[in-house]
Structure 1
Amino acid sequence: MKWLSSICVLAATWAVGLVQAAEDTEMKSVPLRTHSLESPYLDSDMASRWWDFGGDTMIRADKYVRLAADQPSQSGWIFSRIPLTANNFEIEMEFSIAGKGNLHGDGFAMWITKERAQPGDVFGHTDRFEGLGVFFDTYKNNRPGVVFPYVMAMMGDGKTTYDRANDGKANELGGCSARGLRSSSVPSKAKLTYLKDESLSLDLQYKTEGTWTKCFDLKATDSMPLKLPNQAYLGFSAHTGELSDNFDIVKVETKNLYQPRASIPRTKDGKKLASSFERSSKKSGGGWLWFFFKIILFAGVCGGGYVGYNAYRTRQRYNRF
């Protein structure tokens, strides 16, 4: 009986160890203070150590960074002072779009671009940019069948102009309609996740607090490489025309994403090598489902052996009498 109990204990320990190893391979994160922003936004000398701002941007230390006010012909920006060098990152921002009028425009944008603090006519930023622009467009120019506000991403090559006449239709990598994003009853948030040269996704919160809606989830291909400049700055800008709104940034949290190096076996040339467990899973074709099935099966064998052993001892006891 002792040997059976020992095997069961070893099996349980082995299973727990594998589960912990699997958890260690999950993506970890480290906050990047240099690219995060929160109240009071400014230092004691009324400046920011990590950010520059200009144009019509106003800062109310207890509430927001207002990129553009609810007035015609406003344009403002705020940009990080140092480049965002993380290969993989997540940027979560809280923002607000609201105004007095029933008609409103134009919109604001998040930038991860080679250009830094260069005002222009693309939501307050220069055109022909190199890098990523995520546009929160609140005014419909000419895009039939699309509900506004509309959120979309564009990867600029430094030469291509933004398709302003058609609300960026020719430039869109991915996007979604977000009815209710303006004057939302819950804190409006956007979460951008980028894995170097692999994927780009955007999630929005504006319907229910704590509930995220997927806007787009892109995977890199030969025809659609998701490559950012080696030196890119994080920024935000907004623009109003004849129609206007208040475009406010409330909070920005940027995180560097990484996998623990100990959990990523590599070859001599630095390439990722599948673990023995991953290789055996692929060969068996079962993955995690098959792995847990085997654990349950082994536990069943242990349990069956224990029950059988007790039944055998009971039978022997009765046979003596």
Structure 2
Amino acid sequence: MAAGGWRAGLALLAVALGLGGPRAEQMEEHLKREHSLSKPYQGVGSASAGLWELQGNAIVMAQYIRLTPDVQSKWGAVWNRVPCYLRDWEMQVHFKIHGQGKKNLNGDGFAIWYTKDRMQQGPVFGSKDNFLGLGVFVDTYPNEEKQQERVFPYISAMVNNGSLTYDHDRDGRPTELGGCTAMVRNLNHDTFLVIRYVKRRLTVLIDIDGKQEWRDCIDVPGVRLPRGYYFGTSSVTGDLSDNHDIISLKLYQLTVERTPEEERRDKEVYLPVVDNLKLPGMEAPLEPMSGLALFLIVFFSLVAIVFAIVIGVIVYNKWQEQSRKHFY
């Protein structure tokens, strides 16, 4: 994709999401290289240097990083070594999925992660289950036999506080925050997706039609993600397979103005949570009490204590009087 096309697309995206033109014009200035992966992939996979670490069957090629080859029972991942402490960010993913399988005879897809733990192999597209953080899944194979509402390939998102299990048999439907169909296999043009996290709002957009135009996929408000987690991507093949290639991962820091109310609302969080969505073992955070409510609670507590002391003194004096009468 030409640089001019990217800039135009990003400008439209910024305007649509209320960030205005200047943010798009200065996008390059906000590129965070310590969290980005692009050609020529210098130092990737090095045991002693580099910002990204390979895992499993992932290999570095000249034009891409191949997470898995079009071979059965393979898995691979690449993880950023540097934790991300940005408040608002955007991850642009340039990828390619291709192979010999036709229709639904291919699999299984790949995931993009923002999680507390890194480099842990597991059953969720090659990474661990019961994770802490965010997973965005590009799922190319329907495990559930009777799919009435979905057409695959399918992109979905999941926020996990460590207590949820990804349901493979149902393609993650019980824990899905949102999703969309995305026909991304065996295309002759570039395919992209963007994961954007701004003001506790999670948005996923895709550009897969070769038109250099973004299309809405997922939009979820009230998503609270802690800072200091790691970016990564992983893939797995089973009885069916595909080549899963990552061409680039580019992370941008977004500068966003907040009102005092938004500053209060967007305070630091320590476990992933989604407002108005109950996750097992984790209730939505309670709103802090106002100063008046706290004052009233303390005042009436003190009144109750004083009242109890007075009653106690009266009862004690009565008891002493009764004791003296019995003595005489």
Normalized against structure 2, the TM-score is what?
0.68
Gaps of 5+ in 1: 1-21, 221-225, 273-321
Residue equivalent to 1:66: 66
TM superposition shift of 1:183: 1.3
- 1:73-131 CA distances to partner (integer Å, 9 max, x unpaired)? 00001011011110100010100000012210011000000011111110000000010
Residue equivalent to 1:175: 179
TM superposition shift of 1:136: 0.3
Measured in 2, the distance between the counterparts of 1:45 and 1:109 equals 19
CA RMSD for the aligned pairs?
2.5
TM superposition shift of 1:265: 7.3
Residue equivalent to 1:116: 118
* Alpha-carbon contact 1:108-1:137 (below 8 Å) kept: yes
Q: State the one-letter code of the partner of 1:51.
A: W
* Alpha-carbon contact 1:25-1:259 (below 8 Å) kept: no
Normalized against structure 1, the TM-score is what?
0.69
Residue equivalent to 2:131: 129
Q: State the one-letter code of the partner of 1:201.
A: T
CA distance change for structure 1 residues 194 and 100 in 2, over 3 Å: closer, same or farther?
Answer: same
Measured in 2, the distance between the counterparts of 1:251 and 1:122 equals 22
CA distance change for structure 1 residues 90 and 45 in 2, over 3 Å: closer, same or farther?
Answer: closer
TM superposition shift of 1:266: 5.9
How many residues were matched structurally? 239
Task: Classify the secondary structure of the residue corresponding to 1:166.
Answer: coil
User: Structure 1 stretches (4+) deviating beyond 4 angstroms?
Assistant: 22-29, 44-48, 264-267
Measured in 2, the distance between the counterparts of 1:45 and 1:78 equals 8
Residue equivalent to 1:154: 158
Which residue of 183, 187, 190 corresponds with 1:184? 187
* Alpha-carbon contact 2:191-2:210 (below 8 Å) kept: no
Q: State the one-letter code of the partner of 1:148.
A: F
- 1:244-296 CA distances to partner (integer Å, 9 max, x unpaired)? 00000001111010136xxx6769xx769xxxxxxxxxxxxxxxxxxxxxxxx
Matched, 1:53 2:54: yes
CA distance change for structure 1 residues 38 and 23 in 2, over 3 Å: closer, same or farther?
Answer: closer
CA distance change for structure 1 residues 161 and 44 in 2, over 3 Å: closer, same or farther?
Answer: closer
* Alpha-carbon contact 1:74-1:241 (below 8 Å) kept: yes
Gaps of 5+ in 2: 1-18, 266-328
Task: Classify the secondary structure of the residue corresponding to 2:174.
Answer: helix
Residue equivalent to 2:108: 106
* Alpha-carbon contact 2:56-2:77 (below 8 Å) kept: yes
Residue equivalent to 1:97: 97
Q: Percent identity?
A: 37
